[in-house]
Amino acid sequence: MMADDNLEELRNHHLTMTKSKADALRGLYQYKAKKFKDLKLELTTTPKGRISNLCPYCQLEIVGTLDHILPKTPFPEYSTMPWNLIPCCATCNSKKDDDWLDEHNQRCFINFYIDDIPPVQYFYADVSVVNGKNDIKYNLRFPAGYTSTLRARIENHYKKLDLLKRYLENSDDVLEELRSVIRNYAHGVPDGEIITSINNTCKDMQVLFGENYWKAVLERACVNTSAVFNLLKQPQ
CB 92 to Zn ion: min, Å? 3
User: Residue 156 or residue 225: which is nearer to Zn ion going by CB?
Assistant: 156
Find all residues with CB under 8 Å of 79, minimum gap 6, and list them: 25, 26, 28, 29, 68, 72
User: Residue 39 or residue 90: which is nearer to Zn ion going by CB?
Assistant: 90
User: Residue 92 or residue 136: which is nearer to Zn ion going by CB?
Assistant: 92
Going by C-alpha positions, the residue among 192, 160, 1 that lies closest to residue 95 is 160
12-20, 56-64, 182-190, 205-213 -> range binding Zn ion (CB under 5 A): 56-64
150 contacts Zn ion (rule: CB under 5 A): no
85 contacts Zn ion (rule: CB under 5 A): no
Tell me how many degrees the CA angle 145-219-155 measures, rounded to the nearest 5. 35
54 contacts Zn ion (rule: CB under 5 A): no
- Per DSSP, the residues of 36-99 read HHHHHHHHHB-TTS-B--B-TTTSSSB--EEEESS-TTT-GGGTT-GGGEEEE-HHHHHHHTT-
- Whole-number Å distance between alpha carbons of 45 and 54: 11
User: Residue 22 or residue 96: which is nearer to Zn ion going by CB?
Assistant: 96
**Interface map 92-121 toward Zn ion (x if CB under 5 A):** x-----------------------------
CB 112 to Zn ion: min, Å? 12
55 contacts Zn ion (rule: CB under 5 A): yes
28-36, 54-62, 170-178, 216-224 -> range binding Zn ion (CB under 5 A): 54-62
8-16, 85-93, 187-195, 204-212 -> range binding Zn ion (CB under 5 A): 85-93
89 contacts Zn ion (rule: CB under 5 A): yes
Going by C-alpha positions, the residue among 59, 76, 87 that lies closest to residue 166 is 59
57 contacts Zn ion (rule: CB under 5 A): yes
17-25, 47-55, 102-110, 202-210 -> range binding Zn ion (CB under 5 A): 47-55
Going by C-alpha positions, the residue among 109, 209, 124, 122 that lies closest to residue 159 is 109
Q: Could you say which of 7, 22, 54, 58 contacts Zn ion (CB under 5 A)?
A: 58
- Angstrom distances, CA of residue 208 to CA of 44, 52, 87, 211: 14, 10, 18, 9
- Per DSSP, the residues of 189-214 read --HHHHHHHHHHHHHHHHHHH-TT-H
Residues that bind Zn ion (CB under 5 A): 55, 57-58, 61, 89, 92
